[in-house]
Chain A
C-alpha cells in the first residue's frame, strides 16, 4: 500500500490534476447556477454529455478519423471547442427556458425546480439513448499522445497538459468576466441579494440567462477536453462525472467560483492518491469518504465562502 502510493505518487498527481481540471470546469456550472438561483441544476451533467456528442459529430462532419499534426491539429481542436461550447451553452439556455423559467415565474418552490431538473436530466439521457444507442461510442483520436517531459516518475503527456492548461485559461477568463464586466457585477449582485439587485436596475432574467450560458459553455469545454483525453462517450457519460463535479463544487464551497477550481483539483488528486493506496476499485469510495469528512469539519467547504459573500 504505502509503497504503491510512493511509486505511484507522480503519475497519480498528474492524472489527478487532469481529471480534476475536468471536474472543476463542470463544477463551475453547478456553482454559478446555485449562486444565482439557489438551484442545483441536476441536468447540468447532461449539458456536459451533449457537449461530448457535439465533439463527436464535429469530427464526423469534417471527416476526421485519425491524428492530426501542426496547424491542422490546432484547427480541429478549435473547431471541436467552438462547437461543443456553442451546443452546450445553447442547450443550457434552452433548459433554463423550458424547465426552470416557467416555474420561477410562477413562484414555485425550490423543490419543484429540483424535480424539474431531475426530470430534464432523465429526459435528455433517454433522448440520446434512443437517438444514438446505449453503447459506448468512441471518439476518433485527433492527436498523437506523446510524452513531453517527466516529473519524477510521472510522464507529462501532451493531451493531459492540454486539459490542464485549457481549464486554467477558462477559469481565468471566467474570473475576469465575473469581476470585471458589467454583467459580471450583475451576477454577483444577484447572488448576494436579488431584490436589491433589481432596485439597482439589474435585469434578473438576463443574469440568469447569462449564468446558464456561461455554465453551459464551460461544460462544453470540459466535454471537448474529455473527448480528446478519454476518446469515448455514451448517453450516460455525464452521470458519474456530474456527481463528481457536483461533489467538487460542494467540496470547494458551493457558490464559490474559486472553490470550484480548488474542489475539482482536490477531488481529482484525492481519488487518484486513494486509488494508488487502496487499489483502483476504491477510487470512488475514497473520493466520497473524503467529501463526508470535509463536510463534517467544514460544512461550508474548503474555501467556505460562497458567491454571496465571496469577494470573488
Chain B
C-alpha cells in the first residue's frame, strides 16, 4: 500500500472531526472519498498533508510512518495537494504559481515538469503572465492541479476539484485526472457530487460525521441504492 491510514482521530478543540477512520490507497489507484458537508473530508486531506495534528492513529506513506512529519516536509516525500478552494496565490502570476510547486526541490531543473503540465493544461500556457487572482474558476482549478503536479507527487490529493465549475469543465478536468493517473500518479480524490468521481475511480470510501460507513469498489457504490439516494442525486442518476 502506498498510503495506509489507521484509526485516525483529529480534533478541533473539543470537537472530534475525524473519529477513527482507516483508509488505504494502493500505488496506481484512484480512490475517492465521498461524504456530505461537514463529514470530515477536508480535515482528512489536511491531516494527510500535515496541516492538522492527529490526536491518535497513524499515517504510513510508502512504508514509512509519517504521522508526526511536519507539513512542509511531506512534499519532498511525494505527497502534494490541490486544496479545497484551490489555494491559488492571487498576487502571483500563473508561472509563479506553477513555480511554487517546485519550491521544495532545490534544483532549478524543472523544464520537463513545466512542459508536461502545460501539455496537460494548454490553457495555462496562454495565461502564463496573468495573475492567479484574475483567472476563472476553471482555470484556477487547472492551475491548482498543475501546480501540484510540478512537485512530481507520488500521491496527488484533490479536494473537490469540481466545486463551482460547469459540467463541461468538470468533465475536462476529470479526463485530465485520468491521464495523470495513467502516467503513474496515484490519486486520492474528495468529492461531494460523486457520480463522475466514482466513474473515474477504482475504489471509494463513504464518510459520515467523521467515520467511514462504507468502503467498496467504485462500480459497486454506483449501483448501491442507499449511496445513490444520499450522494448521487437520487435514483435518477445514470
| Interface set of A (CB-CB < 8 Å, partner B) | 182, 185-186, 188-189, 192-193, 195-204, 305, 307-312
Contact = CB atoms under 8 A, between A and B. Distances in A.
Interface in B123-163: 131, 133, 147-148, 151
B87 A198 contact: no
Nearest to B100: A200
A241 to B, nearest CB: 30
A189 B100 CA distance: 8
A253 B133 CA distance: 19
B75 A196 contact: no
A309 B103 contact: no
A119 to B, nearest CB: 26
A200 B147 contact: yes
B87 A199 contact: yes
A200 B92 contact: no
A185 B91 contact: no
A185 B90 contact: no
B92 A188 contact: yes
23 contacts: A182-B103, A188-B92, A189-B100, A193-B87, A195-B51, A196-B87, A198-B49, A198-B72, A199-B49, A199-B71, A199-B75, A200-B75, A200-B101, A201-B72, A201-B151, A202-B103, A203-B70, A307-B91, A308-B90, A309-B133, A310-B91, A311-B92, A311-B131
Contacts of B148: 199
Given A182-B106, A188-B89, 19 more contacts: A185-B96, A185-B99, A185-B100, A189-B89, A189-B92, A189-B100, A192-B91, A193-B87, A195-B46, A195-B51, A195-B87, A198-B72, A199-B49, A199-B51, A199-B148, A201-B72, A201-B75, A201-B76, A307-B91
Interface of B: 46, 49-51, 70-73, 75-76, 80-81, 83, 87-93, 96, 99-101, 103-104, 106, 131, 133, 147-148, 151
Nearest to A307: B91
Given A199-B75, A200-B151, A312 B104 contact: no
Contacts of B72: 198, 201-204
A192 B49 contact: no
Nearest to B46: A195
A295 to B, nearest CB: 22
Contacts of B133: 309
Nearest to B75: A201
Contacts of B104: 200-201
Chain A to chain B: the 5 pairs with minimum beta-carbon distance, closest first: A201-B104, A196-B87, A201-B75, A198-B71, A192-B89
B146 to A, nearest CB: 13
B80 A199 contact: yes
Contact of A200 (B103, B106, B131): B103
Contacts of A186: 103
Contacts of A312: 91
Residue picked from B50, B76, B103, B104, most chain A C-beta under 10 Å: B103
